[in-house]
Amino acid sequence: MVIILTQGQKIVKREIDKAKETLEDTIHPETKTVIKPGDRILLCSDGIHDNLTDAEIESILLREPRTIAARNLVQNAINRSHEECLRAKKDHMSAIVITCNG
């Protein structure tokens, strides 16, 4: 499962705090999404999700190791931002990929 959170640090901090309390499944209160061991969570700036489609992001997250996935997301978003296309948007770009362990 790929989960993309873009709503702010409070939600992310709350979920990380919950995960510290228990290694069992964590349920995100706003979406009722169950986060299980092996799932990946992407924390990214809007420069990533504005320049890449959900399918492109998911493909990178599913095929690359965690640290390489974060670098590739940033590099692909930078490359897209320099293209002349509808999605191209010059912006700050950062990504953190978390793999949940159980």
Which amino acid does the sequence have at 74?
V
CA–CA distance, 9 with 54 (Å, rounded to integer): 21
Which amino acid does the sequence have at 31?
T
pLDDT of residue 68: 95
Query: In the chain, what percentage of residues exceed pLDDT 70?
Result: 62
pLDDT of residue 13: 64
pLDDT, tens only, 6-28: 555 556 666 666 666 654 455 55
What lies within 8 Å, CB to CB, of 79 at 6+ separation is: none
Q: 93: closest CA among 45, 43, 50?
A: 45
pLDDT, tens only, 35-75: 788 888 899 888 888 889 999 999 999 999 888 999 999 99
